[in-house]
Amino acid sequence: MLAVVAPLVIITVVLREASTENTILEALREEYSRVHQSGVDHGKHEILQQDFTNPHLITAACLSCHTERGKEVLGNAHWNWEREAFIPGKGVTYLGKKSLINNFCTGIASNEGTCNRCHIGYGWKDKSFDFTNEYNIDCLVCHDNTGTYEKARGGAGYPVMGPAGPDFRKIVANVGRPTRTNCGYCHFHGGGGNNVKHGDLEMALLTADRTIDVHMGVDGMNLQCVDCHPAENHQMLGRYYGVSSSNTQRATCEQCHTSVPHTINKLNEHTVKVACQTCHIPVYAKVNATKMSWDWSTATRRKEGLPYQELDSLGNELFTSIKGDFTWQRMVKPEYVWHNGTADHHLCMEKIDLNDLPLRINTLFGEYRDRGSKIYPTKVHRGNQPYDTEYLTIIQPKLWDAEPGKGALWIDLNWEEALIRGMEYADLPYSGKHDFIPTEMFLPVNHMVSLASEALDCKDCHTRENGRLANLTDFYMPGRDYNAGIDTFGQLLILLSLLGVIMHGSVRFIIHRKAKVNPNT
């Protein structure tokens, strides 16, 4: 009796379940359900009660009260499109959208007129832009709370003015804390269209429910971007490793949820090596598709002498003569990498190693053995970009211009001319010989966090075949890894033991039977 009951008693005592209430989550729900109340009605300010015809004057009006905010903005990365960062092998660098290349339109150089529509300033149309002039700041793109402010296409950041433009009188009376609409105005459209670049940031987040994004869902906490990316003195919290390099000023899940957010301890133990996003963003691009690859080499192809485009059934561009071939995907499973918060970037003047392709436009540093590294989900965007076959550098083409005949690829559809003009503008040498080279870019996925019930399951990773982490082979993971030698030895040992006792037993049994039948022998 004792032998049976005692182990059961021990097991029952040990198995007692801990409390499953998540107090952290409850406190957060309470905190973020308080609605932000502005202390000012800007409609009552006399200086704003006028019909503005010049956007710089709007900025001047803002700065007449918010006297120091201009200086703050002049120091931030949204303004400068570059940051100071130390990169191993490169030293202290000043990198950002201003100077870096990416895997989409390659870079802004010579294309400022269109790209810099998303700059928080007015008139960055070429190298002559004055970054020290506070009156060039566009306050409205971030602070318009009416959702009606618009920057002009090809306007280098200027809004449409005049009767076709937005109602500035209404807009300046309704400025305030940035909403998702403000941030999304640029960040949802990176790469030239909705959800093209990031895959986890798109228009759908303005209206989506909790199943799409558990934080921003309009039927849930309905969080705004700035709830997780707060700013102090216009310095925003948050890093995007397409342009950032250092492990500072990151917006993290932990800043609210702590590093031990689960009631199940085994899950908390994972946070040492696994980023929250890895389990909690099982798929991205949950509503609209995101661009997964971009092949520039087919650009300029025409049909019967004319530029054309092909769309898929959902209306995504599969080919356009000005940009080449694309592939799109919805409900994408991320690819996983080790990442410690630091990154490197391939610069336009750096030599390409043709033995190490595809060329990594950005490199996320990290490995298992690195104490600060965790496994992160990424969107890997694959490209095919023009490069100089003599100088072995990526070539920055001139893509856009306001008028034809200036060498812009998207207007004149001439690769050679676009490459020459682009490199000329960037002050970089070009041999005149180009080809295309496979490239990839790693974009960590941080948004579209799923419901807890849809987070990854143990077996998504702890499985022998085709697990989510099948490509991260620099460590031993239970359930996935084993030593073939030990497993074979062990199985053989058990098999031989079984065979041994069966044979031994059978012989005993047979002899025993014989002895019974013939007791005299």
List the one residue out of 312, 314, 344 whose CA is nearest residue 326. 312
N residues, the chain = 521
* b/e per residue 54-87 (b: at least 16 CB within 10 A): ebbebbebbbeeeeebbebbbeebbbbbbbebeb
Complex with another protein: residue 429 or 500, whichever CB lies closer: 500
Count of C-beta atoms within a 10 Å radius of residue 488? 10
Complex with another protein: residue 339 or 398, whichever CB lies closer: 339
Q: What angle do CA 289, 245, 255 make, to 5 degrees?
A: 75
CB of 145 to another protein, least distance (A): 45
Count of C-beta atoms within a 10 Å radius of residue 200? 25
Stretch that binds another protein, among 114-122, 178-186, 233-241, 486-494 (CB under 8 A): 486-494
Q: Identify the residue among 305, 405, 478, 519 touching another protein (CB under 8 A).
A: 478
Count of C-beta atoms within a 10 Å radius of residue 314? 9
Cα separation, 124 vs 79, in Å, equals: 10
Complex with another protein: residue 59 or 271, whichever CB lies closer: 271
463 is an interface residue for another protein by CB under 8 A: yes
490 is an interface residue for another protein by CB under 8 A: yes
402 is an interface residue for another protein by CB under 8 A: no
459 is an interface residue for another protein by CB under 8 A: yes
Range list of H helices, 91-202: 112-115, 140-143, 168-173, 180-187
Complex with another protein: residue 355 or 466, whichever CB lies closer: 466
Strands 324-329 and 317-320: antiparallel
Q: Identify the residue among 6, 40, 47, 65 touching another protein (CB under 8 A).
A: 6
Which tokens go with 216? Answer: 């921003």
CB of 4 to another protein, least distance (A): 7
259 is an interface residue for another protein by CB under 8 A: no
The burial of 8, by beta-carbon neighbours within 10 Å (0-12 exposed, 13-18 middle, 19 or more buried), is given as exposed
491 is an interface residue for another protein by CB under 8 A: yes
Stretch that binds another protein, among 23-31, 152-160, 306-314, 478-486 (CB under 8 A): 478-486
68 is an interface residue for another protein by CB under 8 A: no
Stretch that binds another protein, among 11-19, 308-316, 383-391, 440-448 (CB under 8 A): 11-19
452 is an interface residue for another protein by CB under 8 A: no
CA distances from 238 to 116, 243, 337, 465 (A): 21, 11, 19, 35
482 is an interface residue for another protein by CB under 8 A: yes
Q: Which amino acid is at 167?
A: D
Complex with another protein: residue 313 or 521, whichever CB lies closer: 521
Going through 321-405 in order, the beta strands assigned E by DSSP cover 324-329, 335-339, 343-345, 359-360, 362-364, 374-388
Contacts with another protein, 492-521, as mask; x by CB under 8 A: -xx--xx-xx--xx-xx--x---x------
Complex with another protein: residue 72 or 460, whichever CB lies closer: 460
Q: Identify the residue among 266, 305, 353, 427 touching another protein (CB under 8 A).
A: 266
* b/e per residue 444-458 (b: at least 16 CB within 10 A): bbbbbbbeeeebbee
Q: Identify the residue among 29, 302, 333, 464 touching another protein (CB under 8 A).
A: 464
Are 331 and 290 in contact, with CB atoms under 8 Å apart?
no
Q: Identify the residue among 35, 92, 486, 517 touching another protein (CB under 8 A).
A: 486
Complex with another protein: residue 206 or 456, whichever CB lies closer: 456
CB of 257 to another protein, least distance (A): 19
Phi, psi for 388 (deg, rounded to 5): -90, 115
371 is an interface residue for another protein by CB under 8 A: yes
Q: Identify the residue among 7, 43, 75, 429 touching another protein (CB under 8 A).
A: 7
CA distances from 38 to 148, 174, 175, 224, 236 (A): 20, 11, 10, 15, 20
475 is an interface residue for another protein by CB under 8 A: yes
Using CB under 8 A, count the residues that bind another protein: 47
Complex with another protein: residue 153 or 371, whichever CB lies closer: 371
List the one residue out of 46, 109, 121, 196 whose CA is nearest residue 408. 109
CB of 258 to another protein, least distance (A): 16
Are 299 and 321 in contact, with CB atoms under 8 Å apart?
yes
Q: Identify the residue among 32, 240, 368, 391 touching another protein (CB under 8 A).
A: 368
Cα separation, 223 vs 183, in Å, equals: 13
Count of C-beta atoms within a 10 Å radius of residue 510? 10
Complex with another protein: residue 131 or 509, whichever CB lies closer: 509
CB of 482 to another protein, least distance (A): 7
Q: Which residues bind another protein (CB under 8 A)?
A: 2-4, 6-7, 10-11, 14-15, 266, 269, 272-273, 368-369, 371, 457-459, 462-464, 475-476, 478-483, 486-487, 489-491, 493-494, 497-498, 500-501, 504-505, 507-508, 511, 515
